[in-house]
A and B are shown apart, each in its own frame.
Chain A
């Protein structure tokens, strides 16, 4: 490039420092949000993968059983009859470390002698005699455990110290630390952090599962004949591969992560408008210069690259800063994301943020790509107007006004295209459609501005007089600049509206659902706190004991377990819920109910099942396709689905089966939770008191009132959306910067005009008012337009995205609050962004301002 042109660029950037800064900031924020979310997602995913591989090790296959487990004798047969030396028994359970902040630990029960091919923690191969002797002690001493050095350091635990645990069956059991697992690297350190490695005998003793294994890990040679194993599998056991299981589990969070990614793109979309705005300004402002350059013989190419290179330089700086900020921001988002995954899906501990190069490459591509894309139109535009034309300001604005019909037409095409795309049932395409609709709506901004200014002129005239007439016209006259700023603000505010309405509707739906579902007065479940919840097997005798408490009218129990559905190997295992009483008192709401006379409880008693809506959605269950196959202790059994009910406990869905049917097919006497109905006239608080001070002592169970349980559910619900709320805020900040940048530029451009106004007798105060009316009008336009756009966004989120991501139907709840709030945000942002320009313009003396010409 010509050195003169380079100098020109340099001069321009250094003269417009603030604008350049805002440009960089826009890119930085957009990239940072995207990268932060990407990092959080990939860190969570990686932590999950690690925690899986830390316990599956190098297994190629696994034999898994039903909730009651696999008989140990199967392992003996595999070792002795099949002679499979690369096999290892595993008990995989969870416990809560009572004294370690209630932290939940993963109990991994293993046979050290079988471990070497699978996991490297304990390998009797090539170890010293001292280690072997230590290994013997680990095997023969009951309740000895190995923990990671990280966990030991965190709680200052030395070998020989004890840890009190609450396990699936024992309210309290103590294990002694026999040694520490010293990880080879940071990666293993993370994976091992919550591991409690015990001998398999200890594992059986403390989890109360004598005679059974959770699974058998295998390393099978390529040519191994799988039927040899399948031939000796007892009913309920299945041969699977860890990769399948990991994929299925990882897939659980797939939709959740995609939603976050899409939301982070929304911030970038807003940023995109901002960049476009800034570049347009730099072009528009230099139209005379460009005109002169062109007149002096500078080629179109040179001018085009002049503008493009400016953008690229700022874009690169913004992108790099964005990557840096994203990495920092990622440390915060990863906590939010992993909290949500813990609440909704499975336990995963994300201790540190992994930074995959691909995340950074993606972030950089998005940032630089967005800058280029935004700069392309203005650059082209600047170079394709005849030199004389570029020197004329008014000509450009007239041209912009003439373009409005076309822009509006394009807007309608975008919206129509988006709506058409929504018809295709794909989550990714649905998001693409959502973006098309949003961009379309943003393109409606110029038209909306013209209309609003026209409508509001009488009003502002009435209030502010001459200034009130001038301001709307000023806005319209600079529509090429104000339009984009307002579009950015509109987008940001409509995201606020859309996401708020969606969350509000969802929350209301869940609240209503809780009202019908939580029919009992008191719920008894294992101690749960934020840091950990472990599935617990409650002795059914406890339930019968509770029946004897005076004032307790009815005791109902529910068993929930995960079972394998062989027909869907690529989906996670099925959550099976088996209540013995309908606590909803036939109040369950159904999407469809094929039970005779709608008597679903009767159908359940007869052996049918009902499934929740997400379950049906994921497996395409309908009135026609109404059977599911489950792997039971009696082998594979087929069940008829009598209906699909609304349920919001998990986005993986549930299968509901009557407890009596469950016990017929599964050798599992335990229950998972107990509910109590209190006799009429008895105060539930009194019963709660009795339970806490007497009946539940030493059981490791806690009682909660209906109200407390409901509040807990809603607390978790709200926590789940904290990341969404944070993203919404980020979009607003981006929009705020956008409108500030636009107004700053406007003000700069209008310096001369303001000089003339001042020279003609306008007071600084009036000039301030004039600026603020303009920005207020812009904010009003954005706020007004954002309301319908936000509603459309909410509808798409509720009716399309949520259904396709999670399979949940929710009722649209319209409250005025999110709309009022959003409008207020738009107006406040616009007015706040106008303050500085207003102050600056009023400070200039008329002479100074005119001199700037």
Chain B
């Protein structure tokens, strides 16, 4: 009774839900909760393996949490019927057939009489193991990393070394056509998620001894494989060492992709334009490598990062060089006009319509007024709304599967536009301008540059709404200055226009294709063109 009365007048005790509060593990957060991230101390497994096989087995089981992690396969066997050994691999990552045929079968048939325990790994490697890529290691780190990558570690009782055999056999996507950088001419191969395949794709194009593919591990516990591909003797050594230094500084536990690596090693974090070209075409990456630049491949990422880049790289397509000179020049000019139009047209229209109507002819003004007669939104709001809707349709089209994506584009473009005009939400003139802008935006070949241009366009529209052409001038000048101050890994963004370099071909006007040796001047490569 007493409890019933108390419960009636007292708030009930809250349900004890599990909550992981910051205070539980890291103490009370500071007032603004902006304390510096304490880097989690990564427990490094240091040292070497032991002679005792059971001790090594216990260590590996603990390291991979074998009790719950059933992917780890610990396969004990007797080498030649006498010496105890253990094959450790990761299920799904390593090929079972390779292990059975080329490790276990030779092991059972091997004769190890008279071989001392300490020499077993060397003996097995030299006399019994019929695998192509093997490595002897006593480092615990190396063994753990190898097993995680899909290799098989063979450990022996009484030996302080293990054999690491390349048995990687996980499933990967085959080489297919590029999805985002489609071309009419030129090769139709694209990078895959398998870094080995990607290196092979590059090597098939660059058949020369000075082509180096340097494998590196990223920092952090995940140890993602990275490849730096470059031409030794052509690439600028200062650039190479700087890129290596920045890659070595990466220490993160997040999954790495080319885009993330770019953000971790770039100079200008707040610049909307990318500082590394992300391409899925091996031919484009190979062309960049031939120019004395560096291609960066990341394991699990079907793209290569090319660095350094300039504004010309972002406006160039993979097949520009395949076209004939006059056609190529016209195509490039159309692309430039499209890019400029897409960036400045909406803002220019807004500025003229809102602040400088005298600059529009009477006929155009009449058309604009007639089309906006029933529209209730102010012109600036209508323009920005439509620009954002266009981005929405585009994003929606990108994120859904192919055929539905096309349908969304058509629905968004035609039906939604038509319906919006009929409902007097938008006017036809503004719709035409936004459609032209969208088409022009697609003329920019690089996706990241397209996005940057799209949001810069909105910024220009806001500036034009406030101050007309003055706003556009001020914003444009600031943007140009910021881009002029930016550098992609030491190469100015506006090279070869500003600063001017010797070889400015193929950027504004295509010049005749000639036999040339060495890299263009703008990349500051070691072996440059005369």
A and B from one complex = no
Instruction: Please report B residues at the A interface, Cβ cutoff 8 Å.
Output: none
Instruction: Please report A residues at the B interface, Cβ cutoff 8 Å.
Output: none
